[in-house]
Chain A
Amino acid sequence: MPRTVLEPRFQVEYLSILDSEGHLDAALEPKLSPDELRALYRAMILGRRLDERMVRLQRQGRLGTFAPIKGQEASQLGSVSTLRPTDWMVPSFRETAAMVWRGWPIEKLLLFFAGYVEGGQPGEGQRDLPIAVPVATQLPHAVGLAYAAQYRGEDAVVMAYFGDGATSEGDCHEALNFAGVWHVPVVFVCQNNQWAISVPLKKQTHSKTIAQKALAYGMPGIQVDGNDVLAVYAAAREAVDRARAGEGPTLIECVTYRLGVHTTADDPTKYRAEEEVKMWEQKDPLTRFTAYMRQKSLLEDGLEQQVDEEIALAVERFEATPPPDPLTMFDHLYAELPPHLVAQREELARRLREGGAPEPDAPAPTPRATPMRGQRLTRR
């Protein structure tokens, strides 16, 4: 009996519309109105400027450790901009630009990274999950949300973010598998930024692409130039529309690059070459999108100053936040505080009254923050 081929040869597409040289494939260009393009461009500039400001705030000791997004603005905004407010956004921990797009006030994000739990609270009715730190664990939540949407007969779509490192986690596999079996409206957006802290993609997976993993779960997968906001938008638009039409999940791999540090407690010079960073700087998502906007005569004068002012006002509001009341640490643990916690709360209240408790940290300069996920502290 000869061996036979069970499946036709699988194919994985790569999509690029606006390349790093500024060449545009007009046939693939998504149909975005001038207003939509201006909004996207503004969000990308804001994402970059806010990120830079946050790094400075962290260096000044006013924010704790956080994960900068520099270089990943197109991956985040090209995808998140395809959602409706009634859709769900499930972030990992490096989606600042996507979160601002979804309406998270900047000062709230600053508060979050200044160690205030209040900063993790989504707005009333906002269909965004808070930041999830343990890698890939948010992905099954996205699948559950999508199942519930389908169960309720609502046409909401769920977009879930994760990185290349997350694809090694069991939760990533389980989530993709459940999504495939249940055929639910989820769009998995993998921001493949080439580095999981110090481990490069080739040590993370022997798979040629991350997109091809989708095929094993019975869903479409596509690799896109993650620094090309038009390509990310086009792929996400297609995936979101398909999900909303009841045609199931999609995996999108955005090939991008983390131009900055993993977190502000990281020193990438220890593990990657400066030339590699320089090479990726040539592919900066902002450079080519600026050229595209210029060509369309859509560039607005003074946009950067406008954005900086918006950030400055948010920083002012952030800095005006009163010191946190330690007693509220017991709020929201349970719907109703059980007796042992009432007693512990009273004990803390007594210590605070008697002046025996240490002062809480306010947004003013604080001691150096502790690292995330195994990172050593680096003096810079």
Chain B
Amino acid sequence: MTKLNMVKALNLALFQEMERDPDVVILGEDVGVDGGVFRVTDDLQRKFGSQRVIDSPLAEAAIIGTGVGMALYGLRPVCEIQFSGFAFQCFHQIENHVARYRLRSQGRFACSMVIRMPYGGGVRALEHHTESEEQFYAHIPGLKMVIPSGPRNARALLAAAIRDPDPVVFFESKALYHAAKEEVPPESETFPIGRAQVAREGGDLTLVAYGAMLRVAREAADVLQAEDGVAAEVLDLLTISPLDRETIVASVAKTGRAVVVHEAPRSFGPGAEIAASIMEGAFLRLEAPVRRVAAHDVSFVGFAREKANVPDVARVVAAARETLAF
């Protein structure tokens, strides 16, 4: 076992998948010689050549659009969009084509491809470099939307995404890239897409989180345990779409209380779908309304004010206490 941070773990997944399958190609801006602005594709061009690790011209729509063509031919492109805030320049390719080719061609073609993007705040970055936009992709039929929370599951989920027959939008939290190291087994492993994990067991309250918010939820659970004697169960969604409603509903059926945490703005965010799913699946077991702790419905605050916007441990603890006291 080696301890790796998330950047190195993702790099390992790409390396192993490229070794395993010659159809896997990488394309994006600065992914080759530079190894990506976050170094996730570091050294891969040297190992696999510039035909497989392609430094593309600077154009998001064509990165995804040519990725579509490669996928239709039978390759397995892994496209990198440098920051999720720039993905609106390829959003039409994702919505109009990536998500629809299997349906439109009635199964003759499919876009078996991965679209990787760094997302989220916490890195003192400019506008368009700090936002969380997972809700847009989770809303599109035909796509899968994955957000890992740590090095090990990032590696395993990226490998699974590359092998998946359907297109996967894969969000990587910039705040987590170098946050922590974790044991990652040297041999290749995959985690199932569409499955949430119970990150911490508890019977009093369910905290639902993913990506960088998992750590916030875990720490909030620690505080609740230490200060209130409350055992919070923490769910790590890992996949936003298709959502693992079964695991969420089973947990809330047990605890009767739920708080959903995400970095994306609150209205029409993943929390709304999760809360609705809990209502549909566990209404009679609920002891309190489902609460959402999310960013405010503002487009951009600047990193100087970011801490007042992105959910933190204190906000999650406060929401949990209100839920428990209801």
Which A residues are within 8 Å of any B CB, using their own CB? 117-118, 120-122, 124, 126, 129-130, 132, 134, 137, 139-149, 151-152, 158, 170-171, 174-175, 177-178, 181, 331-336, 338-341
Decide if B166 touches A335 in the complex (CB within 8 Å): yes
Q: Which residues of A contact B93 (CB under 8 A)?
A: 137, 140, 171
The residue that B66 contacts in the complex, of A118, A140, A149, with Cβ under 8 A, is A140
Q: Which residue of the partner chain B has the closest CB to A131?
A: B104
Chain B residues whose CB sits within 8 angstroms of the CB of A122 once the complex forms: 105, 108-109
What CA separation (Å) do A151 and B93 show in the bound complex?
A: 22
> Is B86 positioned at the interface, with any CB of A under 8 Å from its CB?
no
Q: Are B69 and A147 in contact (CB under 8 A)?
A: yes
Q: Is the CB of A144 within 8 A of B106?
A: no
Q: Establish whether residues B110 and A335, one from each chain, have CB atoms under 8 Å apart when the complex forms.
A: yes
A105: min CB distance to chain B, Å: 14
Contact among A124, A145, A340 with B242 in the assembled complex (CB-CB below 8 Å): A340
Complex Cα–Cα for A121 and B103 (A): 9
CB pair B68–A333 under 8 Å, yes or no, is no
Residue of A nearest to B100 (CB): A333
A143 contacts B243, CB within 8 Å? Answer: no
Question: Hey, which chain A residues are within 8 Å of B75, CB to CB?
Answer: 148, 151
Check B242 against A175 for contact (C-beta < 8 Å).
no
Q: Name the B residues within 8 Å of A146 (CB-CB).
A: 69
Query: Smallest Cβ distance from B137 to chain A, in angstroms?
Result: 14
| One of A137, A147, A149 near B96 (C-beta < 8 A) | A137
User: Which residue of chain B has the shortest Cβ distance to A123 in the bound complex?
Assistant: B108
Contact B92 A144 (CB under 8 A): no
Contact B65 A139 (CB under 8 A): yes
Q: Are A134 and B96 in contact (CB under 8 A)?
A: yes
Task: Render B151-173 as a binary contact track against A, CB cut-off 8 A, 1 for contact.
Answer: 00000000000001110000000
Please tell me which one of the listed residues A132, A174, A335 contacts residue B62 in the complex, with CB atoms under 8 A apart: A174
> In B101-125, which residues have CB < 8 Å from any A CB?
102-110
B33 CB to closest chain A CB (Å) equals 15
Q: Is the interface of A mostly helix, strand, loop or mixed?
A: helix
Residue of A nearest to B141 (CB): A333
Q: Is B57 part of the contact surface with A, judged by Cβ < 8 Å?
A: yes
Assess the A171–B107 pair: CB atoms within 8 A: no
Q: A143, B69: Cβ atoms under 8 Å? A: yes
- A144 contact set on B, CB distance < 8 A: 65-73, 77
Q: A145 to B65, alpha carbons, bound, how many Å? A: 10
A178, B104: Cβ atoms closer than 8 Å: no
Interface size range of chain B in the complex: 35 or more
A126 to B105 CA separation, bound complex (whole angstroms): 11
Chain A residues with CB below 8 A from B289, complex form: none
Knowing that A117-B106, A335-B166 are A-B contacts, what are 20 other residue pairs whose CB atoms are under 8 Å apart, sorted by A's residue number?
A120-B105, A121-B108, A122-B109, A129-B72, A140-B68, A141-B97, A143-B62, A143-B69, A144-B65, A144-B70, A170-B61, A171-B65, A174-B61, A177-B57, A178-B56, A331-B107, A332-B103, A335-B164, A339-B242, A340-B242
B66 with A141: CB separation less than 8 A: yes
- Verify B69–A332 contact, CB threshold 8 A: no
A sample of 17 cross-chain residue pairs with beta-carbon separation below 8 angstroms, ordered by A number, consists of: A117-B103, A122-B108, A129-B72, A134-B92, A137-B93, A140-B65, A140-B69, A141-B68, A141-B69, A141-B72, A142-B69, A145-B69, A174-B57, A331-B106, A332-B107, A335-B166, A336-B165
Q: How far is the CA of A130 from the CA of B108 in the complex (A)?
A: 10
Chain B residue nearest to A156 in the complex (CB): B73
| Cα-based distance from A132 to B98 in the complex (angstroms) | 12
Min CB–CB distance B185 → chain A (angstroms): 27
Distance between Cα atoms of A341 and B166 in the complex (Å): 15
Bound CA–CA A178/B75 (angstroms): 18
CB distance from B262 to the nearest CB of A (A): 19
Contacts A121-B106, A333-B102, A335-B166; is A178 near B96 (CB within 8 Å)? no
Most buried by B among A144, A171, A334, A340: A144
Tell me the smallest distance from the CB of A185 to a CB of chain B, in Å. 12
In the complex, what residues of B have CB within 8 A of residue A332's CB? Answer: 102-103, 105-107
**Bound Cα distance A117, B103 (Å):** 8
Q: For the complex, is B74 an interface residue (Cβ under 8 Å from A)?
A: yes
For A151, give its contact among B51, B71, B109 (CB under 8 Å).
Answer: B51
B245 sits at the interface (CB 8 A): yes
B25 at the interface (CB under 8 A from A): yes
What chain A residues lie within 8 Å of B65 (beta carbons)?
A: 137, 139-141, 143-144, 171, 174-175
Q: Nearest CB to that of A88 among chain B residues?
A: B73
**Chain B residues closer than 8 Å to A121, beta-carbon distance:** 105-108
The answer to whether B246 has its CB under 8 Å from any CB of chain A is: yes
Q: How many whole Å from A208's CB to the nearest CB in chain B?
A: 26
- 7 interchain residue pairs of minimum CB distance: A144-B69, A140-B65, A148-B73, A144-B66, A174-B62, A338-B242, A121-B106
A137, B97: Cα distance in complex, Å? 8
If the complex has contacts A170-B61, A171-B61, are A129 and B109 also in contact, measured as CB distance less than 8 A?
yes
Residues of A within 8 A of B71 (CB): 144
Return chain B residues, CB-CB under 8 Å to A158: 69
- With both beta carbons as reference points, the residue of chain A lying nearest to B166 in the complex is identified as A334
A367 to chain B, nearest CB (A): 24
- A212: min CB distance to chain B, Å: 21
A151 to B103, CA, bound (A): 26
Task: Determine if A130 and B69 form an interchain contact, defined as CB atoms under 8 angstroms apart.
Answer: no
The chain A residue with its CB closest to the CB of B103 is: A332
| Closest Cβ neighbor of B65 among chain A residues | A140
Complex-state Cα separation, A177 to B61, whole angstroms: 12
Q: How far is the CA of A187 from the CA of B221 in the complex (A)?
A: 60
How far is it, in angstroms, between the C-alpha of A33 and the C-alpha of B92 when the chains are bound? 44
B203 within 8 A of A: no
Query: CB-nearest residue of chain A relative to B143?
Result: A334
Cα A302 to Cα B75 in complex, Å, equals 47
Q: Is the CB of A145 within 8 A of B57?
A: no
Select from chain A the residue with minimum beta-carbon distance to B113.
Answer: A144
**Chain B residue at smallest Cβ distance from A144:** B69
In the complex, whether B85 has a CB less than 8 A from a CB of chain A is no
A117-B106, A130-B105, A144-B69 are known contacts. Are A338 and B194 too (CB-CB below 8 A)? yes
Smallest CB gap from A125: residue in B: B108
Q: Which residue of B lies closest to A118 (CB)?
A: B106
Contact (A145, B73) CB under 8 Å given A120-B104, A140-B66: yes
Give every chain A residue within 8 A of B245 (Cβ-Cβ).
339-340
Q: Determine whether the beta carbon of A148 is less than 8 Å from that of B57.
A: no
